[in-house]
Structure 1
Amino acid sequence: MMPQLPVLGLIATPVVLAAIAIEWWAVRKGRINGRYCARDAATSISMCAGNIMINSALAFLSLGGLALAAHWRVIDLGVSLTTCVTGYILHDFLYYWKHRAGHRMRWFWAEHVTHHSSQHYNLTTALRQPWTGPLTGLLFTGIPMVLLGFPVVIVLGASSVHLAYQLWIHTEAIGKLPAWVEAIFVTPSHHRVHHATNPEYLDSNYGGTLIIWDRLFGSFVPEAADEATRYGIVRPLRTHNPLVVAYHGFGGLFADFWRDGLKPHHWARRAVNPPGWSPDGDHQRSDELKAEWRARMAAGLAADEDELIQEDSAPEAMKVAAE
């Protein structure tokens, strides 16, 4: 994540809390589709609180990095309606690739898995954010934009609006929208697919605001009307402990490094390959899970959810800490 404009944060907080309260009430009353688990929702809210505190404490790194990049910019584009709009579109494009890397490179997945760890899908899921600081967003979106000449205020503004957009797409209450909206923008339907563990949905729909990037780069998958959606991660996390939720991805990665022994070339390959990659060739990446699902479908067999769900993804030391 990138630091956001403080004023937008102050405005957004009561709006977000009110929206969550309304959704929770409507789900409980059966007025809308959705599921809520009090412990799961509390964990997501705690993850958001921790994320805000850590990002605020480390904001000097982001702002310092952006200020340093501004000294090396190729041009000063200034602040105008044109640069605001083009800056937002560029931010969304860069976010697409950042998000895609977050799923296709295990080092970045170790951070991003936090957001996907809930087995529920409601507005609180949007708040389940990592505790690893703002450096990933700075690297992928902030510095490139500043180097290209966009003022820091536009970068921060684009990041703020982009983050705000993410809230409403984390819900089961909104079905498919008009075709032209679904064709251009990321909608709740698109993002439900992104959060699903159904094998046919894995690693798809990375867009933040515009779904056109997924359509252009071959990662778009539509939501099937007759398919029950399962949320979370393939190796489910069976704890609500915020510390485990925050760091189990890195805990699992370093546990694999330990099992590899003193083989830095294996560590490097694990870090840059997709989750599930193994140096012995016994991969359990999303590619293998999709291939297995397609083979079962071709053979006329129903996909067995239990065969795709492995052991708890947290390493043993973290499981003990959660008990």
Structure 2
Amino acid sequence: MNLTDIEIFSGHLQHMSVIVLILMIAEWGILLFSNYIERKKEGMVSIVSYLIQSIPYFLLSKIMIVGGMFLLYEYRLFNIGFEWYYWILAYLLYDFTVFFIHFLGHKVRVLWCIHGVHHTAEEMNLTVVARGSIFDVFFTPFNFMWLPILGFHPFMIFVIEPIARLYATLTHISEKYVGKYKWLDRILITPSVHRVHHAKNHIYLDRNYGETFSIWDQLFRTFQKEVPNEKIEYGIMHDKLNSESLWDVQFLLWRELWQDVKNAPTILDSLKYIFMPPGWNHINGGRKAKSYRDEAWKKRKVLKT
């Protein structure tokens, strides 16, 4: 495959977002018709979020994303060809970057205000994929924008990224259609593994950051399978957020961050509210995900004895 063929193929893949949107609406309609969905407005809020967040992508993609990638490629460190093994390497590097950026999205509060939008849905189905922040354009492109500096041609990335995104879409499919495939969990982020990531149960908090492969979570000890007799509850740990309100979904986390920054006693504390993990406070350090998770595991062990 030469560069011209790759360019043509990548052009076709740019329509992947339309395919993803069709899949979302189709599954959502089936689930609504079969009365499997309880929070019926969530899907609409997710799809509207998708349409809104597409606007900054449309306005900035050619300048900030595509232009930036071709500029980096001009200063590439290595001359990498289009042999099959380079495609595998590019996909692995992309997938690891997604894991790392995703990890930061849960550990840095200002990034959580962006990524946390995706976690506000309280039911799992394909429309959850559409539930992204209007500021997402300033976050997720870093999953792949840097790869051309290594020598991967931008058109290679324009092929890899939509394929990976389609796989990630399918990991959000409703449990009504896809159950558990334990033998795959150790290799791939299956729908079961990703359901754990979307859980607000304390025992599941901040687990399974991968997009395609689960090897990164296993390597960095963030991997967690579904636990027997621990039914998944979707959403985020927030008593006031309404998952069927577009305003709450897009802006409530930002408003609360602003209140904490404004009321912090020192400039250093204000900065910490921005960059420390969600749950941190200046009074006693707060409680972060690990604390809740450790406590939940202790309780589970006590109940077993």
TM-score range relative to shorter protein: 0.7 to 0.9
In the TM superposition, residue 139 of structure 1 has moved relative to its aligned partner by 3.4
In the TM superposition, residue 42 of structure 1 has moved relative to its aligned partner by 0.1
Match of 1:319 in 2: none
Say whether 1:238 aligns with 2:265. Answer: no
Q: TM-score, normalised by structure 1?
A: 0.83
Instruction: Kindly indicate whether the alpha-carbon contact (under 8 Å) linking 1:206 and 1:214 is maintained by their aligned counterparts in 2.
Output: yes
Instruction: Kindly indicate whether the alpha-carbon contact (under 8 Å) linking 1:111 and 1:247 is maintained by their aligned counterparts in 2.
Output: no
Flag the 1:22–1:62 CA change in 2: closer, same or farther, 3 A.
closer
Match of 1:63 in 2: 66
In the TM superposition, residue 178 of structure 1 has moved relative to its aligned partner by 5.2
Say whether 1:158 aligns with 2:160. Answer: yes
Equivalent position to 1:105, from 108, 113, 124 = 108
Instruction: Kindly indicate whether the alpha-carbon contact (under 8 Å) linking 1:65 and 1:138 is maintained by their aligned counterparts in 2.
Output: no
Match of 1:45 in 2: 47
Flag the 1:11–1:94 CA change in 2: closer, same or farther, 3 A.
closer
Taking only the aligned residue pairs, the percentage that are identical comes to: 25
Instruction: Kindly indicate whether the alpha-carbon contact (under 8 Å) linking 2:32 and 2:40 is maintained by their aligned counterparts in 1.
Output: no
In the TM superposition, residue 160 of structure 1 has moved relative to its aligned partner by 1.2
Equivalent position to 1:188, from 180, 188, 191 = 191
* Cα deviations by residue, 1:236-277 (Å, 9 ceiling, x for unpaired): 52153324322322222121101114x321122222221001
Amino acid at match of 1:88: Y
Match of 1:258 in 2: 262
Match of 2:30 in 1: 25
The alignment partner of 1:51 has SS state of helix
Matches within 5 A, 1:1-323: 7-14=12-19, 16-18=21-23, 20-22=25-27, 24-25=29-30, 28-29=33-34, 35=37, 37-59=39-61, 60-143=63-146, 145-170=147-172, 171-173=174-176, 174-177=178-181, 179=183, 181-236=184-239, 237-238=241-242, 240-261=244-265, 263-300=266-303
Equivalents in 1 of 2:237, 2:20: separation in Å?
Answer: 32
Flag the 1:172–1:251 CA change in 2: closer, same or farther, 3 A.
same
* Cα deviations by residue, 1:83-107 (Å, 9 ceiling, x for unpaired): 2221111100111001011111112
Instruction: Kindly indicate whether the alpha-carbon contact (under 8 Å) linking 1:62 and 1:135 is maintained by their aligned counterparts in 2.
Output: no
Flag the 1:8–1:204 CA change in 2: closer, same or farther, 3 A.
same
Flag the 1:168–1:296 CA change in 2: closer, same or farther, 3 A.
same
Equivalents in 2 of 1:274, 1:209: separation in Å?
Answer: 25
Aligned length: 291
Structure 2 unaligned residues grouped into runs of 5+ = 1-9
Equivalents in 1 of 2:277, 2:85: separation in Å?
Answer: 37
Match of 2:5 in 1: none
Equivalents in 2 of 1:295, 1:183: separation in Å?
Answer: 25
Amino acid at match of 1:8: L
Equivalents in 1 of 2:16, 2:258: separation in Å?
Answer: 39
Amino acid at match of 1:70: Y
In the TM superposition, residue 68 of structure 1 has moved relative to its aligned partner by 2.4
Equivalents in 2 of 1:226, 1:299: separation in Å?
Answer: 15
In the TM superposition, residue 26 of structure 1 has moved relative to its aligned partner by 5.2
In the TM superposition, residue 82 of structure 1 has moved relative to its aligned partner by 2.3
Instruction: Kindly indicate whether the alpha-carbon contact (under 8 Å) linking 2:31 and 2:37 is maintained by their aligned counterparts in 1.
Output: no
Superposed CA RMSD in Å reads 2.2
